[in-house]
C-alpha cells in the first residue's frame, strides 16, 4: 500500500510540475551588474516612467504630472513635476541618453511663470517655498550637469535658480516670528502659511550652498549658513542624533515641533552640507554636519541598507503620493555627496547599490512584467493601487536609484570655473511679487475665520503624521 501511494504521489508531483511550467512566472527584468547593464535598465525604466507624463501630448500642459488632487485631475501636485524634471536631467547626465531632453526643456521653461521665477499664477493655491524650491533646484541641477542650454531668448538655467533664490531671500518672505526662517507657504491666504517647516528652509539652504559653490559669491553662502543655523537653533535638527524633524507653528513660536521624520528632509540638508564642505575647502564644521547627517539618514531610513520611508511604509496604504517619491531624491542626492566629499564614497555607494538592487528586484508588475512598486524591502512587487496612486512616484524612484549607480562615471557638479555653460543673472527675480494680484481688504472676521480653518486643517494633518510616525 505504501509503495502504491508513493508511486501515485510521484506521478502527481510530476504532473503538477508540468502544469506549473505552463504558468508564467514573474522574474526580475533588470540587471545592474555592470555599467552597461545599468544603462540598459535605466533606459527601460526611463521609458516606462515617461508613460505617466502627459505634458508632451497635444492639449496637455508641459512640465506637470497629472494633478493636482485637489482639483481631481490626478495624484500629483505641481512640485512633483519639477522633481521629475530633475530626475531626467540626472538620467541624461548619468547615461548620456538625450531621448527626453526636449521634453524636459519644454517642461522646465513652460512652468517658469510670467516673471521667470517659478511662480506661475495657475499654481498659486499650492505655492509653497518648498514647491518653488524644487523647481529651482532642478534648474540649478541643469546648470551643474551642463544640460543643454535653452534658446538664447529664453531664461537660462542658472538665472532661473538665482531667481528662485532671490525671491526666497526677499524681505517679504522673512519675518521675526520664531527668530527667522521661511514659512511653508508663500501667499498669506494659503493654508499652512502659519507653519515654518524644514523642507522649505532646506530647499533655500540647498540652493544657497550650490549657488555659492557655482558662482563663488559669498552672499549665497552667508544665507545658506544662516538658514542651517536657524534650523539647528530652533530644534528642527536634534543636537544629539541629528534626527531631522518636520516643523512647527508660528503662533507657538515654533516650540510645538512636529517630530515626524521624512527622508528627503535629512537627505536635502546632507546634500547642501556637502556643497558647503566643498565650497569652504573642507571646513571642519561642515564635515561634521555631513558625517552626522549621513549617519542619521542611514540609521533611520536604510534598515538593512535598503531605502525605507519610516513615517508610512510600515502600513501599506498609509503613504501619500508625495512620500512615495522621496526615495528617488534621496538616492540622487546621496550619489552627489560622493563627488563632493570623496571620503564618503565607499560607504555611500555600498548602500546605494544594495538599495537600488532591491528597487530593481521588485519591478516585476503590470502587463509588461516590469512595473515598479514602492515597497522595496519586501522583494516583491506591490501594486501602487494599495496607496491609491497611479505609480509615477514609484517609477521615478526606481529610475533614480538605478541610474544614480553610474555616478562614478561622471564628473562632479560643474561651476562657472570648471566648465559650467549656463549664463546667470544675479538680479533675476527682482520683478517678482508673492501676491501679484490685488487682494480685497482683509477684515477682522476674515482673519479670525482663516485662523480657525487653518488651525483645524493643520491639526488634522499633524494628527495624521503623528499617527503614521508613532504607530498603534
The yes-or-no verdict on residue 20 having pLDDT over 90 is no
- Is a pLDDT exceeding 60 seen at residue 466? no
Whether residue 68 is preceded by a cis peptide bond, meaning omega within 30 degrees of 0, is yes
Higher pLDDT, 38 or 458: 38
Q: Which domain holds residue 160?
A: 36-425+442-470
Judge whether 432 lies within some domain: no
Q: Average pLDDT in the 205-234 region? A: 98
User: Please, which residues have CB within 8 angstroms of residue 155's CB and are 6 or more apart in sequence?
Assistant: 109, 112, 116, 163, 428
The pLDDT of residue 26: 55
Kindly tell me if the per-residue pLDDT of 19 is higher than 50: no
Question: Which residues 6+ apart lie within 8 Å of 142 measured at CB?
Answer: 89, 108, 157, 422
Say what the pLDDT of residue 427 is.
95
200: β partners? none
Please state the domain count of the chain.
1
Non-local CB neighbours of 414 within 8 Å, separated by 6+ positions: 143, 144, 145, 146, 214, 420, 421
The answer, yes or no, to whether residue 395 has pLDDT greater than 50, is yes
CA neighbor of 324 nearest in space, from 334, 335, 332, 316: 316
| Distance in angstroms (rounded) separating the CA atoms of residues 348 and 353 | 9
Measured distance CA(198)–CA(439) in Å, rounded? 29
Q: Please indicate, yes or no, if residue 434 is contained in any of the structural domains.
A: no
pLDDT at 433: 74
Rounded average pLDDT over 80-91: 98
Q: How long, in residues, is the chain?
A: 472
Q: What is the mean pLDDT of the chain?
A: 89
Mean pLDDT to the nearest integer, 207-235: 98
Q: For the beta carbon of residue 250, count every other beta carbon within 10 angstroms.
A: 16
* Dihedral Cα 65, 70, 72, 78, nearest 10 deg: -10
Calpha distance 237→242 (Å, rounded): 6
Q: Which of the two residues, 28 and 59, has the higher pLDDT score?
A: 59
Map grid coordinates 504607530 to a residue.
471
Whether 316 maps to a domain, the answer reads yes
DSSP assignment string, 312-366: HHTSTT---HHHHTHHHHHHHHHHHHHHHSGGGHHHHHHHHHHHHHHHHHT--BT
Residue 120: name the closest of 173, 78, 66 by CA: 78
Confidence at residue 449, expressed as pLDDT on a 0 to 100 scale = 44
The mean per-residue pLDDT over the stretch 95-111 comes to 98
Confirm whether 448 is domain-assigned: yes
CB contact at 8 A, 353 and 302: no
Contacts of 12 (CB under 8 A, 6+ apart): none
Q: Is the pLDDT of residue 440 over 60?
A: no
What's the rounded mean pLDDT across residues 24-41? 85
Residue 272 domain-assigned (yes or no): yes
pLDDT tens, position by position, 289-337: 999 999 999 999 999 999 999 999 988 889 999 999 999 999 999 999 9
What integer pLDDT is reported at residue 417 of this predicted model? 97
Q: Which residues have CB under 8 Å from 236's CB, separation 6+?
A: 198, 201, 244, 245, 246, 247, 248, 257
pLDDT tens digits for 249-266?
Answer: 999 999 999 999 999 999
Give me the pLDDT at residue 23, please: 31
Which grid cell is 185?
507657504
Q: Is residue 107 part of a domain?
A: yes
CATH of residue 86: 1.50.10.20
d(CA 86, CA 88): 5
Q: What is the pLDDT of residue 436?
A: 46
Q: Is the residue at 5 inside a domain?
A: no
What was the pLDDT predicted at 126?
87
Reply yes or no on whether the pLDDT at 387 is more than 90. yes
β-bridge partners, 371: 365
Is residue 438's pLDDT more than 70?
no
What is d(CA 225, CA 10) in angstroms, rounded to the nearest whole number? Answer: 73
Contact 165, 119 (CB under 8 A): no
pLDDT score recorded for residue 435 = 57
User: Which residues are CB-contacts of 395 (< 8 A; sequence separation ≥ 6)?
Assistant: 45, 48, 49, 52, 371, 372
300 within a domain of the structure (yes/no): yes
Amino acid at each position: 500500500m505504501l509503495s502504491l501511494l508513493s508511486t501515485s504521489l510521484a506521478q502527481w508531483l510530476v504532473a503538477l510540475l508540468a502544469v506549473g511550467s505552463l504558468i508564467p512566472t514573474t522574474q526580475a527584468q533588470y540587471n545592474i551588474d555592470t555599467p552597461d547593464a545599468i544603462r540598459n535598465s535605466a533606459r527601460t525604466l526611463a521609458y516606462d516612467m515617461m508613460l505617466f507624463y502627459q505634458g508632451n501630448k497635444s492639449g496637455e500642459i508641459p512640465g506637470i504630472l497629472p494633478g493636482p488632487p485637489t482639483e481631481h485631475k490626478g495624484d500629483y501636485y505641481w512640485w512633483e513635476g519639477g522633481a521629475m524634471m530633475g530626475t531626467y536631467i540626472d538620467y541624461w547626465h548619468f547615461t548620456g541618453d538625450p531621448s527626453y531632453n526636449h521634453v524636459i526643456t519644454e517642461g522646465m521653461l513652460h512652468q517658469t511663470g510670467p516673471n521667470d521665477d517659478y511662480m506661475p499664477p495657475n499654481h498659486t493655491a499650492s505655492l509653497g517655498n518648498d514647491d518653488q524650491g524644487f523647481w529651482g533646484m532642478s534648474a540649478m541641477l541643469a546648470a551643474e550637469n551642463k544640460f543643454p542650454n535653452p534658446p538664447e531668448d529664453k531664461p537660462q538655467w542658472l538665472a532661473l535658480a538665482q531667481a528662485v533664490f532671490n525671491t526666497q531671500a526677499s524681505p517679504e518672505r522673512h519675518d521675526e516670528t520664531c527668530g527667522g526662517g521661511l514659512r511653508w507657504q508663500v501667499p498669506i491666504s494659503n493654508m499652512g502659511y502659519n507653519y515654518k517647516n524644514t523642507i522649505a528652509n532646506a530647499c533655500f539652504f540647498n540652493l544657497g550652498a550650490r549657488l555659492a559653490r557655482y558662482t563663488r559669491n559669498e552672499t549665497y553662502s552667508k544665507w545658506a549658513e544662516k538658514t542651517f543655523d536657524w534650523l539647528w537653533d530652533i530644534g528642527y535638527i536634534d543636537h544629539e542624533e541629528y534626527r531631522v524633524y518636520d516643523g512647527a507653528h508660528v503662533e507657538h513660536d515654533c516650540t510645538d515641533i512636529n517630530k515626524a521624520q521624512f527622508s528627503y528632509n535629512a537627505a536635502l540638508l546632507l546634500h547642501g552640507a556637502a556643497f558647503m564642505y566643498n565650497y569652504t575647502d573642507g571646513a571642519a564644521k561642515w564635515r561634521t554636519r555631513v558625517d552626522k547627517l549621513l549617519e542619521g539618514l542611514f540609521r533611520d531610513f536604510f534598515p538593512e541598507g535598503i531605502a525605507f520611508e519610516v513615517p508610512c511604509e510600515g502600513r501599506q496604504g498609509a503613504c501619500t503620493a508625495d512620500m512615495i517619491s522621496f526615495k528617488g531624491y534621496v538616492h540622487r542626492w546621496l550619489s552627489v555627496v560622493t563627488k563632493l566629499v570623496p571620503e564618503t564614497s565607499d560607504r555611500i555607494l555600498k548602500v546605494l547599490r544594495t538599495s537600488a538592487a532591491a528597487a530593481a528586484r521588485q519591478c516585476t508588475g503590470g502587463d509588461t512584467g516590469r512595473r515598479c512598486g514602492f515597497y522595496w524591502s519586501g522583494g516583491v512587487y506591490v501594486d501602487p493601487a494599495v496607496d491609491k496612486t497611479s505609480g509615477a512616484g514609484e517609477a521615478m524612484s526606481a529610475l533614480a536609484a538605478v541610474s544614480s549607480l553610474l555616478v562614478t562615471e561622471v564628473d562632479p557638479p560643474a561651476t562657472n570655473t570648471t566648465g559650467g555653460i549656463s549664463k546667470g543673472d544675479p538680479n533675476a527675480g527682482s520683478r517678482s511679487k508673492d501676491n501679484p494680484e490685488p487682494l480685497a481688504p482683509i477684515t477682522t472676521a476674515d482673519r479670525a475665520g482663516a485662523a480657525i480653518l487653518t488651525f483645524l486643517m493643520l491639526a488634522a494633518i499633524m494628527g495624521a503624521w503623528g499617527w503614521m510616525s508613532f504607530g498603534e
